[in-house]
Structure 1
Amino acid sequence: MPSATDLQTSRGPSSGARYEWVDALRLVAAVAVFVQHSFESSGLTFLNAIPPAISPGVFGVVLFFLISGFVMPLSARGSFNIPQFALRRIFRIIPGVLFCYALLLIVPSLVPPHHLSWLWTAGWKTWAANLLLIQDYVGAKAFLGVTWTLSLEFAWYGLFALCWQWRGERSIDLLCKAATVLMVLVTVVSLILEHRAPMGRLGMIYAAIIGAQSYRWIGGAISGKRMAAWAAVFLLVMMFANVVAFGYFTNPRITFAQSFWPWLIAPAIYFAGVVLAGRRETGRVTAVMARFGKVSFSIYMLHSIALGGTFWIEDDILRIVTALVVTLLASFVMYRWVELPGIAMGRHLARRVGDRWNRRQRAFT
């Protein structure tokens, strides 16, 4: 998930300013997830009523995947090969995950034993599942709840890399068509078989694909009318999928309202940002938000740890404010000392792999 800062480093000084809106929207997404989890853990009635009504957490995750879709073709411009791409993506995500797992091992020494102490006794299978980010699919207990999205993120990376290697930017059109047909088909089959399908998770990948298509519009590869048509189709398909998955069927953790409104509001805000960016109308506020948005991944990963570490504060408002301050401070530390070195290492290894690949190519010619 390269930020505008990362893009500025790799694409020149102008592109960093051009894509500040990406980091600004990331900040919105990260704060929305923080709001969800902080309100859920609050004892205040008026705060507890917000997540069941609109689910800001789902909104934030949908927004994250739309953004992730946009930045993938942006980061893949120029020479591309899958090993280099994989190394950059792995070292963009995994160092932060390992850092947070390390924090979770330290936290039990700061809070009563019943908080997170089970990590010390978790078996190797649980550790392996969490390190591979497949805990949700093998029935293992998650060390950190927010990591469920990272397995989907890597699934998107893999799908994108294979398609981009195959047909480059033209593959985005094919992905949009295939994803639309697949979403409708799975939803209809779900109805016929009377069996609920995980439409929300499939929808995240679909959102990333539509985000990639919006990059093509920004770059002038497709017209505004065509992009508007794809956006409308995406909204209609996701409304249909959500009506079936969360209305006709039920989910013990997410209500129909919690799925419907986020999938409507998040794309609306995202496409508004895309349109404003296309017109170069993002402004100074976006630039300020982007400074905090560059640490959005750290905010996303660290906020639940901060909320857990401040459980001893009895006043709910004070606890939420304290957790927010701790999250922001820790996020800048993690970004500076974990994320940036990880990004640099990924680029270094990718260059070495690229140099080796080029030498082999020259040897065969």
Structure 2
Amino acid sequence: MPAAPRMAWLDGLRAVAVLLVLYAHQSRYVLTDARAVSAEWLHAGPAGVMLFFLVSGYIIPASLERHGSLRRFWVGRAGRLLPLYAAVALAVVVLGYYRPADPATAAVAHATMVPFLLGVVPASPVFWTLSFEMVFYLLVAALFALRLHRADSVVAVLLAVGAVLTAPLAPQAVRTPYAAAALALGLVALLSRRRWAVTAGAVVLGGLALTLVTAGAAPSHAWDGLLIVAVMFTGTTIYRADSGRTGWWPVAVVAPVVAAGLLFNWSAELVSLDALTPRYVARAVITLLVFAGAFAAGLLTRRWRTPRWLAWIGVVSYSVYLNHYVLLLVMRPLFPAGLGLGSQFALGLAYLCVVFATSWVTHRYLELPGQRWARRMSDVWDEPVGVRPPHAPVRG
């Protein structure tokens, strides 16, 4: 099956997201004066990853439904994510930046791609977002197999309401061996040819996903773990309206509910830290407006020509996201304190050049071969499982 054409406006949004994350992490060492001001009014890192989550929510279910095959979906996700993920994990171990107390447990937890939700310190701090992406994939696949894939707006509202009612979540109560076994068994059943096994696998994986996000949350996301998944399902609700499968009224309901849940829980977290001040409340509102506004702007201007340089950054954004933190660790000794603004700017620019050059290499020699492998394997192994909704002209 030929790949659908890329949508440049989504690549542009990915570029904005990864640039926000780059700024958040890089400005700890260079342009620190700028960070001292901006951090008081904007959480650049969370704004960037929330924008990534919205984009994933928009495009991932569309990719699954376009193919109508759970097998093709999971092979595609494996080819898209695993080669670079494994290479970065190996790199931080070889470079000595990751020394887990229990290597065997850490290896199994990373193989599931949800170490952050299993009480295992991720090999790279940026891996935490992939854990939530994996939870979303499990839920989307389970809903698809159960023929409930059009219930995204209901799921988003339920998750947002549940997040408000249950916060803070009980952290890190899920154990790696049980989660890994449930994931393996669930996937085997989900990808089988028997309808009863597909249904059983969907129930297992859906239950695992909800367990991970509610009982496995790290303390840093005890207040917004469920809301992160709700944001992704909000993206799906927008996709359905945008593609004409529903009206826009579900978006008009879901988006305010999820936004209100985010602001409520972020404020409640500030209360728990005795840090509820007008400035920090304003920062929460501005962060929400930045990522939601960026997505809305991209959607409204999608017929405009996306600058080629911005689209290119979006194309390699997965490599940039996973590579940049490792490169920051490697280059950190080159960022001494007390430099002038000009020197900081020059070092920051040099760092970005290294990040983009490295990411071009990993995109070309790890990501693209993985994607080609996935297409070949899908063509050989593809057997539609579950339902086959109407075609969606979006590529995941």
TM, length-normalised to structure 1: 0.79
User: Is 1:261 the equivalent of 2:254?
Assistant: no
Given candidates 317, 322, 330, the residue that maps to 2:350 is: 322
Counterpart CA distance in 2 for 1:274 and 1:299 is 23
Cα deviation 1:223-268 (Å, max 9, x = unaligned):
2344233322222222122222x2222399xx76664432232112
Q: 1:284 to 1:356 in 2, by over 3 A?
A: closer
Which position in structure 1 is the counterpart of 2:86? Answer: 98
Q: 1:187 to 1:355 in 2, by over 3 A?
A: closer
Q: 1:181 to 1:167 in 2, by over 3 A?
A: farther
User: Is 1:304 the equivalent of 2:325?
Assistant: yes
Cα deviation 1:183-219 (Å, max 9, x = unaligned):
34324999xxxx9972322221111000011111111
Number of aligned residue pairs: give it.
327
The alpha carbon displacement at 1:291 in A equals 1.9
Counterpart CA distance in 2 for 1:180 and 1:266 is 18
User: Is 1:344 the equivalent of 2:369?
Assistant: no
* Contact 1:164 1:171 (8 Å CA) reproduced: no
Counterpart CA distance in 2 for 1:54 and 1:343 is 35
The alpha carbon displacement at 1:154 in A equals 0.5
* Contact 1:39 1:51 (8 Å CA) reproduced: no
Which position in structure 2 is the counterpart of 1:62? Answer: 50
Given candidates 128, 138, 141, the residue that maps to 1:148 is: 128
User: Is 1:33 the equivalent of 2:18?
Assistant: no
Counterpart CA distance in 2 for 1:222 and 1:356 is 24
Which position in structure 2 is the counterpart of 1:4? Answer: none
Q: Going by fraction, where is helix more abundant, 1 or 2?
A: 1
**Structure 2 spans left out of the alignment, 5+ residues:** 171-218, 337-342, 387-396
Counterpart CA distance in 1 for 2:79 and 2:221 is 32
Counterpart CA distance in 2 for 1:120 and 1:239 is 35
Letter in 1 for 2:17: A
Which position in structure 1 is the counterpart of 2:272? Answer: 249
The farther-off stretch of 215-224 and 56-65 is: 215-224
* Contact 2:160 2:227 (8 Å CA) reproduced: no
Q: 1:357 to 1:276 in 2, by over 3 A?
A: closer
Q: 1:39 to 1:213 in 2, by over 3 A?
A: same
Task: Compute the RMSD of aligned alpha carbons.
Answer: 3.1
The farther-off stretch of 47-56 and 325-334 is: 47-56
Letter in 1 for 2:255: A
**Structure 1 spans left out of the alignment, 5+ residues:** 1-6, 109-115, 359-365
User: Is 1:204 the equivalent of 2:228?
Assistant: yes
Counterpart CA distance in 1 for 2:130 and 2:137 is 10
Counterpart CA distance in 2 for 1:355 and 1:231 is 35
* Contact 2:168 2:222 (8 Å CA) reproduced: no
Q: 1:132 to 1:165 in 2, by over 3 A?
A: closer
The structure whose RCO (Cα within 8 Å, separation 6+) is larger is: 2
Equivalent position SS for 1:10: coil
Which position in structure 2 is the counterpart of 1:74? Answer: 62
Given candidates 97, 102, 105, the residue that maps to 1:125 is: 105
Counterpart CA distance in 2 for 1:198 and 1:103 is 30
The alpha carbon displacement at 1:284 in A equals 4.1
Give the fraction of aligned pairs with identical amino acids, expressed as a percent: 22
Letter in 2 for 1:125: T
